[in-house]
Amino acid sequence: MSTTAQEPATVGTERRLTITEAIREGIAEEMERDPRVFLIGEDVGIPGGFGGAFGVYLGLPERFGHERIIDTPISEKAIAGAAVGAALMGLRPIPDMQYSDFLFECMDELVNQAAKMRYMSGGKLSVPLVMRAPVGTANRGAQHGQCPESYFIHVPGIKVVAPSDAYVAKGIIKAAIRDDDPVIVFEHKLLYGSKGREQAGGMDLTAHVPEEDYVWPIGRAMVKRVGTDATVVATHLTLYRALAAAEELAAEGVSVEVIDPISLQPFDLDTVFASVERTGRLLIAHEDTLTGGWGAELAARVAQERLYSLEAPIRRVAAHDVPLPVAPVLEQAVVPTQQRIADELRLLLA
Amino acid sequence: MIEPIDVTGLGRDEALVLYREMLRIRRFEDRVYQLFLKGELPGTLHQYQGQEAVAVGACQALGPDDWITSTHRPHGHALAKGVTVRSAMAELYGKATGCCGGKGGSMHLGDPSVGMLPAIAIVAGGISVVSGLGLAYKLQATDQVALCFFGEGASNEGAFHEGLNFAAVQRLPIVYVCENNIYGASTPFHRTSLVPDVANRVAGYGMPAVIVDGMDVVAVRAAVAEARDRAQRGEGPTLIEAKTYRFAGHSRGDARGYRSRDEEAAWKEKDAIERLGLAITSAGLGSEADLADVLADVNAELEDAVEFARSSPDPDPADALTDAYATAIAIGAAL
């Protein structure tokens, strides 16, 4: 994998989109290109409804019809099961979970069926589905704010991606739809539009999104900020907070490299290894809880493969091991803030 | 006293096919049990003796492009849908020539080339997945129908409610075949449900349901054929509850202490194979010699399959690491 993967330079007119717009455009392009692609979920196409819980699908029913934008009962097992079965028959379903917390309602369909059908059949079948699942705290509490990505990196047969900007989001949703394996796409609620900007350390949450057809390959990371003194690997909202913390430390004369892994399974270890070889210091940051989070696995891999490149112990900053509270002051005491990330970086560099 | 089933209107060839299909499953299961006791087969077994009329009646009503889903007790469904005896037997032996290359085994028998998903060994798991088969057929406007086998115990799972309601409201071309063999492992249905018939539960989904004698292959075939026609007309799914009985225990080593020998004897009086055999000879569709010929053919087929499985190569251990993903992930690159 490339170790200098970067968002390409803007060619022609700049077209800045939100993640919501980018994902909608990516899905629409794939539905246009491939008649096997369809959407299925709760409140995805009801006339006068929401276009999905976060408005991603607005306009798609008018364009593609209710045959391909299928509204379901509140039945997550039925949604996931229907997607698995349709994928086995050669279609390309995009099942929608309004909140990733609801994935636990259909764990059997994902973990026992989608992930294992190919293997159990001796490689004769494939399950090309793309499960969309919004994550992230947004003052919604313990059952509408979790980041359950790490549960699924533990399941052989499922791919897990976590795009954090509009350019990548469009590219990777298209790559996921074209992929022959089940892919779960985790997106962060606060990154969909511009409302999360304040929470994201004031970072611009839009990105230039080319109109032409492109994919972001599953399994490729992106170096978001080049640095020499320490490496931070972070996703979603925590990525933006890490970028803000890196900016904060730049004022103190410290150069921090920030990597967005984008894909959690498979994982672009080469990009992280190459960075750590140069910086010698690694901080892993995610909004998922600490224990057993994907950061633990990444730390183990780096410790095993690049121990002698490290000048300090690997550090992790993650949500504390408690359920999510609602009160903003409590919530921010649980998830990694810019302050915590900056403090961890200072400890790493001490 | 065994009563023959009604074979009015059945031709000789048709009758002998039904007899052969059922007898193949019975003899397969009996032979597999012996092989298992001899230690030739790994793992565990959930056997199908007694329920043959359901698998055969249902699959005989399907077309070659119709798919089925199955359960942890799939041997009968697999043979009835056309998985070859050789590839099924080799799969039970864990050989490379098995229908899943040794990766599925007894509880995941299946073969896409004959329209059977790897059997789903999570109770009611197939009820979730079959919705997608039906949805695919509906979206592609084919005239295919999906058939889902499950036991009465599965009707106590949440997937039953979600799956049947979704299929009904979407009018999916699905036939649900509930094999009510009375026991979920050791637990009788009356201890887990205040309604004795699974069919009664289905009115709540606006779906028609019929109860059929699951020890009568012709009756099962007729019920499934009618449900399939209905599905093909776009009128949606039907549930068929086949009242049946498994002659063997739930799995290997089950001493069946939870049911009486009298009850077992009463059900053996309804043995579907014997009832059809008697009907064939009484109606003049075939002679005792014809039935003996079928048995001899089936036995020869089985011995050939056992020999094939025994002499087949083991899978290459390196194959254990393939097929998890369609597009290869280097193991080192995977977290």
Which residues of chain A are within 8 Å of residue B315 when distances are taken between CB atoms?
none
At B80 the three-state DSSP class reads helix
- Beta-carbon neighbour count of residue B64 at 10 Å? 9
State the smallest CA–CA distance between residue B105 and chain A in angstroms: 8
The closest CB to that of B166, out of A78, A108, A117, belongs to A78
Q: What is the pLDDT of residue A191?
A: 94
Name the residue among A118, A116, A113, A188 with its Cα closest to residue A148: A188
Asked if pLDDT for residue B83 goes beyond 90, the answer is yes
- Beta-carbon neighbour count of residue B278 at 10 Å? 17
Q: Is A217 on the interface with B (CB under 8 A)?
A: no
Q: Is B136 on the interface with A (CB under 8 A)?
A: yes
Q: What tokens does B138 get? A: 């509906």
Q: Is A301 on the interface with B (CB under 8 A)?
A: yes
Name the residue among B184, B203, B205 with its Cα closest to residue B193: B184
Which residues of chain B are within 8 Å of residue A119 when distances are taken between CB atoms?
103, 323-324
User: Residue B294 to residues A63, B88, B286: CA-CA distances in angstroms?
Assistant: 59, 20, 11
Considering chain B, what percentage of its residues have pLDDT values greater than 90? Answer: 96
For residue A213, which phi and psi values (nearest 5 degrees)? -70, 125
At B48 the three-state DSSP class reads coil
Q: What is the pLDDT of residue B252?
A: 80
Give the separation between CA B92 and CA B305, rounded to whole angstroms: 11
**Residues of A belonging to the active site:** 144
Which residues of chain A are within 8 Å of residue B78 when distances are taken between CB atoms?
none
Which residues of chain A are within 8 Å of residue B136 when distances are taken between CB atoms?
85-86, 89-91
Give the separation between CA B27 and CA B41, rounded to whole angstroms: 16
Q: What is the CATH number that goes with domain B12-333?
A: 3.40.50.970
What residue of A is the nearest CA neighbor of B108? A120
Q: Which of A57-71, A110-124, B67-81, B317-331 has the lowest mean pLDDT?
A: B317-331
What residue of A is the nearest CA neighbor of B157? A77
Asked if pLDDT for residue B202 goes beyond 80, the answer is yes
The closest CB to that of A73, out of B134, B169, B325, belongs to B169
Q: Is A122 on the interface with B (CB under 8 A)?
A: yes
Hey, are the CB atoms on B128 and A68 less than 8 Å from each other?
no
Instruction: Give burial (CB, 10 Å; 0-12/13-18/19+) of B65.
Output: exposed
The closest CB to that of B101, out of A82, A122, A294, belongs to A122
What residue of A is the nearest CA neighbor of B325? A157
Considering chain B, what percentage of its residues have pLDDT values greater than 70? Answer: 98
Domain boundaries, given as residue ranges, for chain B: 12-333
DSSP string across B181-234: -SEETTEEGGGT-SSS-GGGGGGGGT--EEEEETT-HHHHHHHHHHHHHHHHTT
Cite the beta strand spans of B263-304 per DSSP E: none
Asked if pLDDT for residue B48 goes beyond 80, the answer is yes
- B interface test, pick of A71, A88, A273 with most B CB neighbours within 10 Å: A88
Mean pLDDT of chain B: 96
For residue B13, which phi and psi values (nearest 5 degrees)? -65, -45
Q: What is the pLDDT of residue B126?
A: 98
Q: What is the pLDDT of residue A279?
A: 98
- The stretch B100-129 carries a mean pLDDT of 98
User: How are beta strands B183-184 and A37-41 bridged, if at all?
Assistant: unpaired
Hey, are the CB atoms on B335 and A265 less than 8 Å from each other?
yes
User: Residue B247 to residues A70, B85, B152, B243: CA-CA distances in angstroms?
Assistant: 44, 21, 16, 13
B 48-67 residues with CB < 8 A to A: 67
Do A301 and A273 meet the contact criterion of CB atoms below 8 Å apart? no
Q: Number of Cβ pairs closer than 8 Å across A and B?
A: 173
* 3-state secondary structure string across chain A: CCCCCCCCCCCCCCCEECHHHHHHHHHHHHHHHCCCEEEEECCCCCCCCCCCCCCCCCCHHHHHCCCCEEECCCCHHHHHHHHHHHHHCCCEEEEECCCHHHHHHHHHHHHHHHCCHHHHCCCCCCCCCEEEEEECCCCCCCCCCCCCHHHHHCCCCCEEECCCCHHHHHHHHHHHHHCCCCEEEEEEHHHCCCHHHCCCCCCCCCEECCCCCCCCCCCCCEEEECCCCEEEEECHHHHHHHHHHHHHHHCCCCCEEEEECCEEECECHHHHHHHHHHHCCEEEEEEEECCCCHHHHHHHHHHHHHHHHCCCCCEEEEECCCCCCCCHHHHHHHCCCHHHHHHHHHHHHC
Domains defined for chain A, CATH in brackets:
16-208 (3.40.50.970), 222-349 (3.40.50.920)
CB proximity list for A87: less than 8 A, separation 6 or greater? A93, A114, A126, A127, A128, A129, A182, B132
The closest CB to that of A85, out of B113, B130, B322, belongs to B130
Q: What tokens does B224 get? A: 């499934």
Q: What is the pLDDT of residue A10?
A: 61
Task: State ipTM.
Answer: 0.96
Asked if pLDDT for residue B335 goes beyond 60, the answer is no
User: Residue B54 to residues A214, B215, B306: CA-CA distances in angstroms?
Assistant: 51, 7, 25
Query: Kind and range of the H or E element at B163?
Result: helix B158-169
Hey, are the CB atoms on B133 and A75 less than 8 Å from each other?
no
What residue of B is the nearest CA neighbor of A295? B335
Do B161 and B201 meet the contact criterion of CB atoms below 8 Å apart? no
Q: Is B141 on the interface with A (CB under 8 A)?
A: no
CB proximity list for B217: less than 8 A, separation 6 or greater? B5, B18, B22, B52, B53, B56, B57, B60, B272, B276
Which residues of chain A are within 8 Å of residue B204 when distances are taken between CB atoms?
none
Hey, are the CB atoms on A269 and B158 less than 8 Å from each other?
no
- B interface test, pick of A74, A120, A130 with most B CB neighbours within 10 Å: A120
What amino acid occupies position A72?
T
Q: What is the pLDDT of residue B1?
A: 87
A 22-51 residues with CB < 8 A to B: 38, 40
Asked if pLDDT for residue B330 goes beyond 90, the answer is no
Confidence of residue B331 (pLDDT cuts 50, 70, 90): very low
User: Residue B39 to residues A168, B35, B88: CA-CA distances in angstroms?
Assistant: 55, 6, 17
Do A247 and B316 meet the contact criterion of CB atoms below 8 Å apart? no
CA atoms within 13 A on the CB side of B97: 16
- A interface test, pick of B114, B116, B162 with most A CB neighbours within 10 Å: B162
Q: What is the pLDDT of residue B160?
A: 98
Confidence of residue B332 (pLDDT cuts 50, 70, 90): very low
Q: Could you say which residues of chain A have pLDDT below 70?
A: 1-12, 194-195
Q: What is the pLDDT of residue A133?
A: 98
